[in-house]
Amino acid sequence: MLVFNLHRGFLACIIVFIINPMVFAYSYLDEYDPGLYIGGQLGLAGTNEGDDVENYFKTLSNHKIRRGGLGGKLFLGYSFNRYFSLEGGGTIYPDNKYEGWFSGMFRNISEDFKSKLYTLDLMAKGTLPFGYSGWNGYLKLGLALVKSKFSYSLGDRQRRVTFLHKDNSFTPKVGYAVGIGYQFNEHFGLDVSISGVYSSDKVKLEDEGKKVPGAVMWGLGFTYKF
């Protein structure tokens, strides 16, 4: 009889251990308060400029090319329910820098090309919770205003001439993000994602900086809901 009671008590503990988290998870999923949240992302990023500029600098006898690096984003959002939110934010992408130099008749000549990209965006976010696990997948889509800067110069140590200094106004493009996240509680979550700006434009030296390229970032992010 004692053994039977012990087995029954042990079974009851197992049932409580399994069901209790599900009850809390169901309660959390069922009782959701709309509200403001903030978030950020940090990761490897780069602009989709194409290969025209890089291929040109590779023809020089000496060259140094740096494309991509660390990018970051901050945003503010409002969640209407567990499945739909609106976000507004800004992203800074790493600079691209191309340097080349060669020997002239009397002195060494060098040239360089630099590009910078910033974005402001307004995105609609759809979230799909994966049951009661805390995991979720999401998709963001919206308007991204892209600010691009380009400069090209040629010269030597004594004299340098800037042939191009283009500071484009904000250009509308399509912003996007796809990610997987984990919600630790009703306030704090982490996610990994690929995000960016879509543009078919490619940068060429002869375009004088008029083309606005796209960009992409593979990032680790967080959200905090107030």
| 18, 82: one domain | no
The answer to whether 193 and 3 are in contact (CB under 8 A) is: no
| 54, 26: one domain | no
Say how far apart CA 109 and CA 107 lie, in whole Å. 6
| 140, 210: one domain | yes
**Entry pTM:** 0.76
What tens-digit pLDDT sequence spans the chain (226 residues)?
Answer: 433 343 454 444 434 434 444 444 444 455 778 999 999 999 999 988 888 888 888 887 788 888 889 999 999 999 999 999 999 999 999 998 888 877 666 567 788 888 899 999 999 999 999 988 899 999 999 999 999 888 888 776 555 566 667 777 899 999 999 999 999 998 999 999 999 999 988 887 776 667 788 899 999 999 999 9
| 107, 18: one domain | no
| 17, 97: one domain | no
| pLDDT value of position 5 | 47
How far is residue 15 from each of residues 1, 11, 21, 36, 63, measured CA to CA in Å?
21, 6, 11, 37, 67
| 10, 27: one domain | yes
End-to-end CA distance of the chain: 53
**Tokens 């892209």, residue located:** 146
| 69, 176: one domain | yes
| 101, 113: one domain | yes
| pLDDT value of position 111 | 82
| 16, 100: one domain | no
Domain tally for the chain? 2
Instruction: Supply φ then ψ for residue 53, to 5 degrees.
Output: -65, -45
We report the CATH number of the domain holding residue 56 as 2.40.160.20
SS3 39: strand
| pLDDT value of position 204 | 75
| pLDDT value of position 212 | 85
Chain mean position to CA 104: 43
Beta bridge partners of 209: none
Question: What residue type is assigned to position 41 of the chain?
Answer: Q
Say how far apart CA 90 and CA 36 lie, in whole Å. 17
| 7, 68: one domain | no
Chain mean position to CA 185: 24
| 18, 101: one domain | no
| pLDDT value of position 55 | 84
Structural domain boundaries enclosing 8: 1-31
| 9, 46: one domain | no
